[in-house]
Amino acid sequence: MKFTFKYPAQFLLIGAIYFLAAAHSFGQDKDLPKDVYLASAIPDSLKNDANSVVRYLSDEVVIKGPGEAVIKHHKIVTILNEKGDHEAVVGFGYNRKYDTYSSITIQGYNAEGLPLKKYHKSDMYDGAAIDNSTMVTDERFLQLEYAVATYPTTIDISYEETLSSFISMDDWDIQHIEQSVQQETYKVSAKPEIGFRFKYKNIALNPIKVTTDGVETYIWHVNNLRAIKKEDGSEKWTILPSVLFGTNAFNCDGYPGDISSWQNYGKWVYGLNKDVCTLNPERAAEIKKMTDTIKTDKAKAKFLYEYLQKNTRYVSIQLGIGGWKPFDANFVDSKKYGDCKALANYMYALLKAVNIPSCWAVIGAGFNAQPSDPSFPDNHFNHEILCIPFKNDTTWLDCTSTTEPFGTLGPFTENRNALLITENGGVLINTPKSTAQANQFNSEVHLAIDSDGGAKAQVKILCSGVYRDEYVEHLPYLKTDEQKEYIMHMLNIKQPSAFDYNPGADNSGVKEVDLNLEYDKFCDIMTGDKQFYHPHVFDLCAFTVPIEENRKSDYFFETPMQKTCVTTIDLPKGFEIETLPVNQTLKFTYGNYDIKYVYDTAKNQVTATAKFTLTNHVIPAAKYNELQQYLDAVAKAQNKKLVIRKKA
C-alpha cells in the first residue's frame, strides 16, 4: 500500500503478522505478585466476551529531547482461546538508522503460572519491511510467534527501545476488541520545553503529575476494564479507548520541526518539498508546448494527470529522510516511478510548468479510516495526494492511481480531513464527501426461460466509483477461472452451467461489463403445470444486518450507492403468468428501494425494474433499528416469486 509518511517505530502488518499496537517494552518488574500469571486469578467479570486479558502492563516513556526517547515496557497477557492467539505473535517495527531494541524477553506460562519456554532477541526473525511495491527501505521488523499448545496460556513480554528520531509518539491503545484489562500503567516524563501533550479518545482519565528536577512526569492507571465487543459494521476507532500523545518539538533524521499546530507542521513539510518541485527549464518548456493548444486550465490539468497515469508507476523507496522528503521531480520525470509523495510532487511540478498552482496534501488513507483530530496535531498520515484550487471549484487528484478518473478520489481518501501544505504552512481541510451518484451500478438483464426450467441470460452492467474499481483495478490481474468466481461472489449469482465474461469499454469513469450466462436449471420449484422463479439473476441488495436492540455504534458502509436493474423475462412458449410479484416502494431515512413488475401479454414478457439507493455511508446508531428493518423488508421484496403455468 501507500505507506510513506512514517513514524520510525510504526508497527507494520506483514501477511498474518500481528504487531503489538503501540507497545514499547522493557524489563521484568521484580515485585509482581504471582497472581498475575495464574489464570484462576482472573475475575469472572473480565472473562465475559474476552479472548485475552491484559493482566499487567507498564509503559515508561522518557523523552530526552526532540526526537529522542527511551521506552521501557512490560506486558503480561493471558490468552483464553484461539481467537486471542494474535497476542502470541510478537513483532516490533523499527528503522535501522535510529531505532534499536534491547533486553527483549518473551516468556510463556501455563494456567498454573509455571514457566514455559523463554525467547530473546536472538530468537526472533529480523527482516526488511517490504511489500510488492517497495524497492528498498530502512524499515525492518523483528518477529516471533509463540506456539500456544493449551488454553489458557500467559505470555510475558518485555523490552527496551531507544529512539533517536521521530515526529509523533505512538498512542496508548488501552485494549483491543474482545480483550479485557486487569491492570495497566502508562508513564511519560519530559521537560516542559519539549511541549508534551495528550488527549483522550473514548475514555476519560486523570493523570498524576509530578515534577522533579525540572522534569514533568505524568502517570495514568486503568483497572478492571471489561472486554469490548465490536458491533457489526462499526469501526474500532469509534469505540476503543486510547490516549493520544505528542510533543510540540521534534527532530526527524536531523531535520528539526514544530508540530504544536497544523500550520507549523505544514511549514516543515513545505520546507522538505520546496527545493524538489521544479522541472528543469528545458523539460518545463516541453510540457508547456504539450498543452499549448488546450484552452482551459482544468483541461490542461486533466491532460497532465492522464499523462502522469500513462507514464509513471508506483514504487516505494524509503531511505533516511526519503521517508518524508519526495524525490526531485526531475528524477521522477526521468525514471518514471516514485512513491505517493514523489508522484504527487511530480504532478505539482507538471502543473507548475504550465502556471497552474496546486498544493500537496498529506492524509490518513484507508476505507473509513480515523480522521485527523483538528485539536491535536500529529503525524499519523500514510499517504499524499494533490489539491488544485481552481477559481470555481477544487479538484483533488490521487497521483498513485493509474485508473482513477480525473478529479475523483474514492472512499480510500474521501470523507475525512487532509493537511494542505502551503507556503504559509498547513491547513486542515475536508476532502470531498462520497456520494451515491459517484458510485453507481446500473444493469440490464435479458432472461429467456425455457419450458424445462433452464434459462439464458444476457447481462450488461455500467458501473462507476467503487463498482468500477472492482472491474478495472482487481479483475484484470486474475486468471479466467478466478475472474468467474470473483464476479459470481461479488454479484451473488446462482451457479451457471456456462459463463462468459466480456470486459467492455471504460469511458469517462464508467466501465461496461457484459456477461452471458446459461442455466440448466434456473427454476426454483416445478410442481405439476407450475414453475416458481426468483425473477432476478442477481439482487441489488444482497445483505442484511443483525437485530441489535441497544445499538451503541454507528454503522459504516464503504460508500453511499445507487443501483438499478431492468430485467426483461421472456416466458417459454405455451406458458403464462399465474402470479406476478407485487410492486413495492420501501423508504428509509438514508435511502429507498423500489421494484415494479409489468407483464406484456402480447409479448408474453415480464419487465422488472428495481432501484436501490443509499444516500449516506454512515448510519447513526439511533437509526440502526430502522436500517435493520428496512434491509429485512428489501430482502423479502427481492425474494418474491414469479409463478408461471402451462396454458390450458
* Residue boundaries of the structural domains of the chain: 34-247, 261-430, 440-646
Query: What percentage of the chain exceeds 70 in pLDDT?
Result: 94
Q: What is the pLDDT of residues 72-100, one digit of tens each?
A: 999 999 999 999 999 999 999 998 889 99
138, pLDDT greater than 90: no
Spacing of C-alpha 379 from chain mean position:
17
- The pLDDT of 350-360, averaged and rounded, is 98
Q: What is the pLDDT of residues 468-497, one digit of tens each?
A: 999 998 899 899 999 999 999 999 999 999
Q: What is the pLDDT of residues 522-570, one digit of tens each?
A: 999 999 999 999 999 999 999 999 999 899 999 999 999 999 999 999 9
- Phi-psi category of residue 492: left, alpha or beta, with phi > 0 → left and psi -120 to 50 → alpha: left
C-alpha cell, 637: 421484496
The model's confidence at residue 9, banded by pLDDT at 50, 70 and 90, is very low
Given this model, what pLDDT does residue 1 score? 26
Given this model, what pLDDT does residue 11 score? 29
Report how far apart, in Å, the C-alpha atoms of 439 and of each of 470, 570, 612 are.
12, 30, 12
Helix (H) or strand (E) holding 596: strand 591-600
25, pLDDT greater than 50: no
Given this model, what pLDDT does residue 648 score? 81
Q: Distance between CA atoms of 55 and 180, rounded to whole angstroms?
A: 9
Least confident residue range of 28-32, 286-290, 383-387, 639-643: 28-32
Provide CB contacts within 8 A for 351, sequence distance 6+.
301, 304, 357, 358, 388
- The pLDDT of 398-419, averaged and rounded, is 95
More confident residue, 203 or 5: 203
Query: What percentage of the chain exceeds 90 in pLDDT?
Result: 89
Q: Distance between CA atoms of 242 and 171, rounded to whole angstroms?
A: 7
Q: What is the pLDDT of residues 302-348, one digit of tens each?
A: 999 999 999 999 987 776 576 789 999 999 999 999 999 999 999 99
- The pLDDT of 420-432, averaged and rounded, is 97
Q: What is the pLDDT of residues 142-194, one digit of tens each?
A: 999 999 999 999 999 999 999 999 999 999 999 999 999 999 999 999 999 99
Nearest to 647 by CA among 521, 522, 531: 531
Q: What is the pLDDT of residues 235-290, one digit of tens each?
A: 999 999 999 999 999 999 999 999 999 999 999 999 999 999 999 999 999 999 99
Q: Which CATH class is domain 34-247?
A: mainly beta
615, pLDDT greater than 80: yes
Q: Which CATH class is domain 261-430?
A: alpha beta
Does 1.10.3720.10 match the CATH number of domain 440-646? no
Given this model, what pLDDT does residue 8 score? 31
Given this model, what pLDDT does residue 132 score? 64
C-alpha cell, 592: 429507498
14, pLDDT greater than 70: no
Nearest to 131 by CA among 7, 4, 310, 312: 4
